[in-house]
Structure 1
Amino acid sequence: MATVAKDFSIEEKLTAVLTLQKIDSKRDEIKTLKGELPMEVNDLEDEVEGLQTRVNNIDSEIASIGEYIESRKAAKKEAEALIKKYEKQQDNVKNSREFEAITKEMEMQELEMKLCDKHVKDAGVRMQETQHSKLQSQSLLEAKQEALAAKKEELDKIIKETEKEENELTKNSEKAKEKVEERLLTAYERIRASYRNGLAVVPVLRDSCGGCFNIIPPQRQAEIHQRKKIIVCEHCGRILVDNDLNESVKA
């Protein structure tokens, strides 16, 4: 919240808001230096997490297929054991009816063995496909992890180099806001939010607005130079200051 006394002169008000602009512009330079890196890091982190989940799910599927193959192999062994059992029983049958019944049971177990072999073969094919899918996902995951590590290293380096300055500028920005008239601060923040470059206060350079570069009429320039009222560009709405004041104010 601005706490400026209402009897400050226009020049003092302009100086205060221009100082704030200079500080915020330096903060913007640091953000520009970081560029899209923070967003890229976040996106890569999401991709890595998604790929890791995919690999984990594939591992679970591979384990499940392996268990199924083992169960089918065990079922085949059980069928083989039953066939041997029935073969011994055939030697002790008392009549043809018992012999036929045992023979049918043996045939059923032989079919079960063939079915188990088919299941094992089909599961083996699925296992190969799943393992191939894992290799592809794992390769993509490793590539994304390498890219993420590089982006993080680049971002961390920039943060390390600029953190102290950025923190100091943030503190200075808050202090500068306290010296700007409340209505002027509201207008400043509204205008600043309207433009990607964050410029709400600009000087008149070569007879033109320093924001939109439209020509400023001579009479208007004279009024700006007098610093007796706050004047905004009729084209872009930015607050205008004369270049002498702009040069004299430092962040």
Structure 2
Amino acid sequence: MANTKELSVEDKLRAIYDLQLIDSRIDEIRNVRGELPLEVDDLEDEVAGLSTRSEKLKGELEIVENLIKVKKNAIDEHKEAIKKYTKQQETVRNNREFNSLTKEIEFQELEIQLSEKQIKEMKASLEHKKEVIVNSKEKLEAKSNHLKHKKLELDAIMAETAKEEAFLSEKSAEYQALIEERLLKAYTRIRTSVRNGLAVVSIERGASAGSFFTIPPQTQVEIAARKKIITDEHSGRILVDSTLADEEKEKMEQLFAKF
């Protein structure tokens, strides 16, 4: 490609308009993907969060089940103690020993009641956790399936457009190398500040494309002469004449037609 210093103003205008056409085509490709990559990322985070929560709930379930076993074993121990104290009452020598054993039996019975109450509460907690786990599992399956479909959708779009986007990105870099730094910075600044990404536009029916502001006839003549870079005083966009624009569009259509 020619050195930037050797380019005439017309060559610069053609190069920067070509760059605009290439970058706009890349924008179109990315718009097809839209919010899909972000949606996939959000779904992946959500699925990971649900998986973590599901594992945590299973862990809590196991803890409660073990606690119930501990309480049941404690009840068995208390019952064995009652049997032992009751048998000892048969061989006591006085009322003081008998009453002392009676108090031990009462204490063991209270411990059994407390353990049974705790088991009942833990079983209720267990049932609730099981219900939550079932709901979490259903939600996780639904989100995982949704993620799977969205990934397939994104992969299909990526497969369809990846080569074209890579090719166009290379072409964009090539045309950027043709354009002097000051002009390229202006182009980039305008492109990032406007919603449609158009930094270079042609004159259509006496106004810059997409604008309602009329370009003065003298300015239109200067733009058509292609002797200097002219910008729209209202939007700051770089202006080219419609003939040049049509010629470059036709050239770029041939480039885009390869895909």
- Range into which the TM-score falls when normalised by the shorter chain: over 0.9
Between the aligned partners of 1:155 and 1:218, the Cα distance in structure 2 is: 48
Q: Render the CA deviation track for 1:46-84: whole Å, top value 9, x for unaligned.
A: 111111121111111111111111111111111011111
| Counterpart for residue 256 of structure 2 | none
1:233–1:239 contact (8 Å) kept in structure 2: yes
Q: Provide the secondary structure at the position in 2 that maps to 1:6.
A: helix
Determine if the alignment matches structure 1 residue 98 to structure 2 residue 97.
yes
CA distance in 2, matches of 1:151, 1:124: 40
1:26 aligns to 2:25 (yes or no): yes
What's 1:181 paired with? 180
Distance in 1, Cα, partners of 2:126 & 2:179: 69
| Residue in 1 that maps onto 2:11 | 12
Q: Secondary structure at the match of 1:221?
A: helix
Question: What does residue 148 of structure 2 align with?
Answer: 149
- Residue 196 of structure 1, CA deviation: 2.3
Q: What amino acid maps onto 1:161 in structure 2?
A: E
Task: Give % identity.
Answer: 48
Cα gap change, 1:211 to 1:181, in 2 (>3 Å): farther
TM-score, scaled relative to structure 2 = 0.92
Amino acid at match of 2:86: E
Report the residue type matching 1:41 in the other structure: V
Asked if residue 121 in structure 1 is aligned to residue 120 in structure 2, the reply is yes
Q: CA deviation at 1:7?
A: 4.4
2:37, 2:154 within 8 Å by CA — same for their partners in 1?
yes
Task: Map 1:1-251; keep pairs closer than 5 Å.
Answer: 4-249=3-248, 250-251=251-252
Asked whether the 8 Å contact 1:4–1:182 carries over to 2, the reply is: no
Shift in Å, 1:207 = 1.6
Distance across 2 between alignment mates of 1:198 and 1:88: 94
Other structure's SS at 1:178 match = helix
**AA aligned opposite 2:190:** I
| Count of residue pairs the alignment pairs up | 249
Q: Which 10-residue stretch deviates more, 182-191 or 125-134?
A: 125-134
| 8 Å CA contact retained: 1:48, 1:145 | yes
**Structure 1 alignment gaps of length 5 or more:** none
Q: Which TM-score applies when normalising by structure 1?
A: 0.95
Asked if the contact 1:55/1:138 (under 8 Å) is kept, the reply is yes
Q: Structure 2: which 5+ residue stretches go unaligned?
A: 253-259
Distance (whole Å) between structure 2 residues aligned to residue 187 and residue 211 of structure 1:
19
